[in-house]
Structure 1
Amino acid sequence: MARMLVDGDDLVVRLAWWERVAVRRGEVRVPLAAVRRVTVERDWWRALRGVHQRGVHIPGALCLGTRGHQGGKDFVAVRPGRPVVCVELWPSAPFRLLAVATGTDREGEALAGGLRRNAPNADASTPCRQPLPVPEETEKHRVG
């Protein structure tokens, strides 16, 4: 299964060979300066936002690849029954969220703590992920 690690000034999601084939990409690499917030989600399905775009999605078994929503794209590698480390990224990054399953709660908390310490622009003001931005209202959708 995919795993997150720090490589110099970058956060890297390293994929197993079969995952690279499924998502048609190598690793995912973003600068640590792009990390906005790091949380651990104990319910794996709560890490999923938007709709499946590319990769493998087997409902109730595996979600691996990109998901699109009104705020941009997320990269996910999650499985049921495993905690998920969720890394929210600033808008300049290629993804808005990286969500990767870990083996245990302890591993997830240790990884999240390490990422928070290493990310220079991380916001530690809240332990919760922030909601997706709401699309702008238009005149034709307004009541009144």
Structure 2
Amino acid sequence: MVTLMLDSAHLEVVLGAVEHALSFRRQNLLIDRDTIARVQLTDDAWTWLRGVPDPGTYLPVAVAMGNWKSSGGRDFAIIRRRRPSIVIDLEGHDEFQRVILTTRHGPQLIRALRLEDIHEAADVAELASDAAPEA
């Protein structure tokens, strides 16, 4: 599973060894926060997948990882089975138009993206819990 790290300027999608191998990507994905146009939660990431792997790994309803090329542009996906996921629409990113990730930390990412005063990169799950109002 991916780890989402956030600071005041970037969202970094930290890939594990399996994700690096199956996505054919050597480095983690770095996204400038100002290129994030929208973040949506979804229970079925497969409906958001468009195009063909280029390069990537695709096993229907099991795994989709890597770059996806379509008439709408290039997307990056890390999808595992039918688990909660996020769809991040990008504007002005030099590599992708959309990022689709299976993660249980989607709600935490949305809360953490609302924070502006983040000096050091931190896991979004920790940022969101630190920023949650006390009951």
TM-score (norm 2): 0.76
Is this contact kept in 2: 1:40–1:86, CA < 8 A? Answer: yes
Percent sequence identity over aligned pairs: 30
Larger Rg over CA atoms: 1
Q: SS of the residue aligned with 2:55?
A: strand
More strand by share: 2
Say whether 1:69 aligns with 2:70.
yes
Q: SS of the residue aligned with 1:20?
A: helix
Match of 2:9 in 1: 9
Count of residue pairs the alignment pairs up:
115
Match of 2:34 in 1: 33
Q: Shift of the alpha carbon at 1:113?
A: 2.8
Q: Shift of the alpha carbon at 1:19?
A: 1.6
Say whether 1:109 aligns with 2:112.
no
Amino acid at match of 1:32: R
TM-score (norm 1): 0.72
**Cα offsets for 1:54-110 (capped at 9, x unmatched):** 12111110001010111210000011221111110003431001111113xxx3222
Match of 1:89 in 2: 90
Amino acid at match of 1:112: I
Q: Shift of the alpha carbon at 1:8?
A: 4.0
**Structure 1's 92 and 44: CA in aligned 2 closer, same or farther, altered over 3 A?**
closer
**Structure 1's 110 and 79: CA in aligned 2 closer, same or farther, altered over 3 A?**
same
Distance in 2 separating the partners of 1:25 and 1:102 = 20
C-alpha RMSD over aligned residues: 1.7
Q: Shift of the alpha carbon at 1:118?
A: 4.5
Q: Shift of the alpha carbon at 1:15?
A: 0.4
Q: SS of the residue aligned with 2:110?
A: helix
